[in-house]
């Protein structure tokens, strides 16, 4: 299967994108399907769709979707999302510019994710155990706790 490549960003583009992610975004692990393992995901949420068109332009991958409004007086909002190996490629380019705990999450993912994530999605028992430990360590990295424990 051919994966869509992420565009190589300039330093200025990568720095601006890192600022968007530090301020309005997440670096997390999400399940795409009920019985699937969690995949690395970068999201940026905002009420201005035009702001989210910037990552689409400079990355040349990902999607923008509408978020459901919970109350009638809420402003409609949107989410930019990129997952998997494309998200890893983005993290490689922006990690020097991140400043929040998301930098530690990005470094952790870049160091460990490929080793515990088979490209075909088929996990043996050993990989499942390693992936579970990886996920636990990843979610320990928060704004309050920035170093994963062993």
Q: Which of the 8 DSSP states describes residue 42?
A: E
Would you say residue 145 has pLDDT above 80?
Answer: no
Q: What is the pLDDT of residue 1?
A: 42
Here the CATH number for the domain that contains residue 128 is: 3.10.28.10
Q: Which of the 8 DSSP states describes residue 96?
A: G
- CA–CA distance, 41 with 57 (Å, rounded to integer): 18
| Domain total of the chain | 1
Q: What is the pLDDT of residue 134?
A: 96
Please provide residue 119's backbone torsions phi and psi, each rounded to the nearest 5 degrees: -65, -30
pLDDT digit string (tens) for 25-53?
A: 999 999 988 888 899 999 999 999 999 99
Residue position matching structure tokens 């320990």? 140
Would you say residue 16 has pLDDT above 70?
Answer: yes
Q: How many CA atoms lie within 13 A of 103 on its CB side?
A: 10
Residue 82's nearest CA partner among 26, 125, 148, 8 is 26
Asked if residue 28 is part of any domain, the answer here is yes
Q: Which of 19-28, 115-124, 133-142 has the lowest mean pLDDT?
A: 115-124
Task: Identify the domain containing residue 135 by its residue range.
Answer: 11-140
- CA–CA distance, 125 with 138 (Å, rounded to integer): 20
- pLDDT mean over 72-83: 89
Asked if residue 70 is part of any domain, the answer here is yes
Asked if residue 82 is part of any domain, the answer here is yes
Asked whether the whole model's pTM tops 0.85, one would answer yes
Asked if residue 106 is part of any domain, the answer here is yes
């Amino acid at each position: 299967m051919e994966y869509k490549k992420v565009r190589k960003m300039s330093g200025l583009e990568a720095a601006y994108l890192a600022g968007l992610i530090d301020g309005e975004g997440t670096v997390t692990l999400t399940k795409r399907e009920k019985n699937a393992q969690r995949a690395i995901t970068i999201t940026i949420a905002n009420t201005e769709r035009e702001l989210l068109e910037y990552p689409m332009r400079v990355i040349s991958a990902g999607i923008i979707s509408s978020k459901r409004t919970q109350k009638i007086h809420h402003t409609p909002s949107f989410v930019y999302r990129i997952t998997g190996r494309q998200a890893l490629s983005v993290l490689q380019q922006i990690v020097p510019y991140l400043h929040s705990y998301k930098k530690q999450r990005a470094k952790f993912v870049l160091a460990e994710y490929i080793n515990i994530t088979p490209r075909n999605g088929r996990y043996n028992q050993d990989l499942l155990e390693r992936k579970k430990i990886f996920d636990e360590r990843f979610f320990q990295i928060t704004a309050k706790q920035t170093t994963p424990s062993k």
